[in-house]
Amino acid sequence: MLTYYFSVSLTYEECRVLYLPKNNAVVVIEERGKRIQIPAKNLRPFVSQTGLRGRFRLQVSEDKKLLSLDRVS
């Protein structure tokens, strides 16, 4: 299992792109500098009226399948 940490700070308006049909993935840069592509549908549950904010932990299997995505702060 691989674990990555990344932070996000988006306003509610900026989060609207997560719901567009053509935007099915989001690219984030994890804390050690690696680019990671995450399906937009996995970030949607964390969007609130103030947007999408926080530090997240992403766990993937050795074959890069998403196992969990959690807000840690």
Domain ranges of the chain: 2-71
Going along the chain, which residue ranges are E strands? 2-10, 25-29, 35-39, 52-60, 66-71
Q: How far apart are CA 61 and CA 20, in angstroms?
A: 28
CATH number of 2-71: 2.40.50
Q: What percent of the chain has pLDDT over 90?
A: 89
Q: How far apart are CA 36 and CA 3, in angstroms?
A: 11
Tell me the per-residue pLDDT of 25-47, one tens digit each, with 9 for 90 and over.
999 999 999 999 999 999 999 99
pLDDT at 23: 79
pLDDT at 42: 96
pLDDT at 46: 97
The whole-model pTM stands at 0.90
Helix, strand, or coil here: 26?
strand
